[in-house]
Amino acid sequence: MNTASTSPKQGALPAIGFGTWPMDDAEAATAVAEALRIGYRLIDTAAIYGNETGVGRGLRESGVARGDVVLTSKLRGAEQGYDEALRGFDATTRRLGTDHVDLYLIHWPLPMKDRYVDSWRALIRLQQEGRVSMIGVSNFQQAHIERLQRETGVLPAVNQIELHPDFAQPALCSWLAAQGIAIEGWSPLGRGKPQGQVLETLAAKHGRTPAQVALRWHVQRGVVPIPKSSKPERMRENLDVFDFSLDAEDMAAIATLDGDHRQGGDPDTHVEE
């Protein structure tokens, strides 16, 4: 049953996506089918999540046309390198049960391995072969992306990075926007119910929940947030942010929350298998 309108677009991407970590195959199959029926049109998974099989199943069971969905997956660290990335992509498509991925990302730069440029060349080839529509990166800093451009001449279409009201990364976001690189925000709610007086005051002002205020803030900054929920009522709540807006004062109040509150790994040092 389709109970909400479909996510509008932000450039080439739906304005809000659906995250699937940490779901196993069974949970992902149920949640993805439900999210698509509710109106999400961007689904985010990754080889390392171990749920691509379930995500593919949910997509097929949803009844939503494959061509209407931006299916995203990511290359894991252990499969970085040119040949390894091509093999990693093949394995991803087998698990997803599709021969085409709409958006394929390098999950982490892993600069200590120094293989992300070789991996990027593999993604460029996959795009040239028509097996991927858009290629991008995740957790890349400006310097990592500048190196990709210097050595391959190809900029990523997307950088998926950690973003929430108390970790807003304004300098990196401005630079990405200036390059025309779309920004996706992971952990957009800060990995749970957003709290604090500013968000609660704005929620009361707009008759919304703090989660909706946080997601609306992402959208108005030009970021595509990818909240995860296993609960259909929250899936709906998180998509229902397109009929109100935050004014300049609201946006400025949320900007005061920004600080050094990274919850995930530091891209320069994070090790991911």
Ligand X SMILES: NC(=O)c1ccc[n+]([C@@H]2O[C@H](COP(=O)([O-])OP(=O)(O)OC[C@H]3O[C@@H](n4cnc5c(N)ncnc54)[C@H](OP(=O)(O)O)[C@@H]3O)[C@@H](O)[C@H]2O)c1
CA proximity to 136, closest of 190, 64, 96, 186 = 186
Pick between residue 126 and residue 199 the one whose CB is nearest to ligand X: 199
Catalytic residues: 49
| Residue 75 dihedral angles phi and psi, to the nearest 5° | -75, 130
| Residue 152 dihedral angles phi and psi, to the nearest 5° | -125, -15
Pick between residue 100 and residue 231 the one whose CB is nearest to ligand X: 231
Residues 6+ apart with CB under 8 A from 13: 42, 70, 103, 158, 182, 184, 224
Residue 72 C-beta: closest distance to ligand X, Å: 8
User: Among positive and negative, which fits the CA dihedral 151, 155, 160, 163?
Assistant: positive
Contact (Cβ atoms closer than 8 angstroms) between residue 72 and residue 19: no
Pick between residue 115 and residue 140 the one whose CB is nearest to ligand X: 140
Residue 116 C-beta: closest distance to ligand X, Å: 14
Residue 235 C-beta: closest distance to ligand X, Å: 8
Residue 21 C-beta: closest distance to ligand X, Å: 4
Tell me the C-alpha distance between 109 and 146, whole Å: 12
Q: Give residues in contact with ligand X (CB under 6 A).
A: 19-21, 44, 107, 138-139, 160, 186-193, 211, 226-231, 234, 237-238, 264
Pick between residue 83 and residue 191 the one whose CB is nearest to ligand X: 191
Residue nearest to ligand X (CB): 19
Q: What is the 3-state secondary structure (H, E, C) of 235-263?
A: HHHHHCCCCCCCCHHHHHHHHCCCCCCCC
Strands (E), 22-179: 42-44, 70-75, 101-106, 132-138, 158-162
Pick between residue 98 and residue 139 the one whose CB is nearest to ligand X: 139
Residue 148 C-beta: closest distance to ligand X, Å: 17
Residues 6+ apart with CB under 8 A from 114: none
Tell me the C-alpha distance between 20 and 28, whole Å: 6
- Tell me the sheet residues that pair with 208: none
